[in-house]
Amino acid sequence: MPNYRYQVRTAQGQVQTGVLQSENATTAAAVLRNQGMHVMALSLIAGGVDTAGLLRRLGEMNSGKPGQKHVLDFSTQLAVMIRAGINLRAALDGIAEQTSHPGFKRVINQLKNDVEAGKQFSEAIARHPKLFGPLYVNMVRASEMSGSFAKMLDRIVGYIAQQIETRKMVIGAAIYPGIIGSLALCVTVFLLTFVLPRFESVFKGKEDVLPWATTFLMDLSRGMVAYWPYIIGGLVATLGLFVAFTKTDVGSFWLDKFKLTFPVLKNMFRSLYISRSLQTMGQLINAGVPMLDTLAITGDVSGNQIYRGMWKRVYASVKQGKKVTAPLQKDGLLPTAVVQMIAAGEESGKLGEVLDEISVYYAKQLKDHIKAVTSMIEPVMILLMGTVVGFIAMAIILPIFKMSQIVK
């Protein structure tokens, strides 16, 4: 007799799951309904394998993992429903029905089950840290204490939307140079491995009259054709080692330091880290989150080890009863004007508002820096590509002209 996995809702509104042995699905559903249960899901377990669960997991793999865009849509819908007077459980149920992403639908159903079990919403979302980070959890927890859940969700929506937009701008700034660089690399490899070998027979026996550039490129071409598996393997291994090194504390520190010292990129990354840190800090302070928790979260989301170290020192200073600005003045990672404005906001009791204004300013600065970097990199990449291709072309054409003059 086959086994069926079921999910039911009891008369008290609790959701239960289990396994039932029955002749067929109809009989299994009838048995559950006779027990006063509302059948929500019923699937056959064939040969000890949960086929429905397996298909669900395959569907989740094909649709990808849920990301911040799903969290943004979820938070927006939830804020609208809560503001309209719909209770949290019903709102979660409605959003789950409308969600097409199977993985995120499962998360929302888990949130609904936790809320139905009597847990606070902040406790429920804290069980999914990859989707709902410390900032989200602490802002929701603060709203539960103050009773301003819908308003806090609006704040969270604005924050997530800003972070997604910032991420898109930074990625967008790297797309064009990446395309040009990849194109230049592909053209160079094509010329060296497919075009130059065709001239091998033409230049054979005339090595003494060939320019040094042609000789160099011919040797390079022969090496690439003969040892291409080793070259590709070496490049892949080097790239893998570099990525693994950047995952270590030392490698991550040097990469973060490079971002803040490289002349073309340092202003852009500095604006990014300042904007992200101060926006996070401002949102948490305005939400009523305690200062020590705010500083800990700000350091975690800053995105750079050097700035994270700065916020850790601020955390230690505030824990000793000192002001926020004391360690900021020593580090020098924030401009003097910003530190002065933070000090003024701390003295006046309007630190959250001041931080919001500063983060908005640096968000605009970030856009300007991204445009400047993009406009600077474009001609450099085009010039580099033209130089490489032109060098190879001239190395091929010059010896042909030279040999034609000798024949004359």
pLDDT per position as a tens digit, 242-271: 999 988 989 999 999 999 998 878 888 999
CB of 70 closer than 8 Å to CB of 101: yes
pLDDT of residue 314: 92
Indicate the CATH number for domain 64-162. Answer: 1.20.81.30
Q: How far apart are CA 156 and CA 149, in angstroms?
A: 10
CB of 196 closer than 8 Å to CB of 217: yes
pLDDT per position as a tens digit, 191-219: 888 888 888 777 777 767 778 888 888 88
pLDDT of residue 236: 94
Domain edges within the chain: 3-62, 64-162, 187-408
Fold agreement between 64-162 and 187-408:
yes
pLDDT of residue 374: 80
CATH architecture of 187-408: Up-down Bundle (1.20)
Please give the model's pTM, rounded to 2 decimal places: 0.71
Amino acid at 293: D
- State whether the Cα torsion 387-390-396-402 is positive or negative: negative
Q: How far apart are CA 332 and CA 310, in angstroms?
A: 9
**Nearest Cα residue to 306 out of 272, 354, 263, 279:** 272
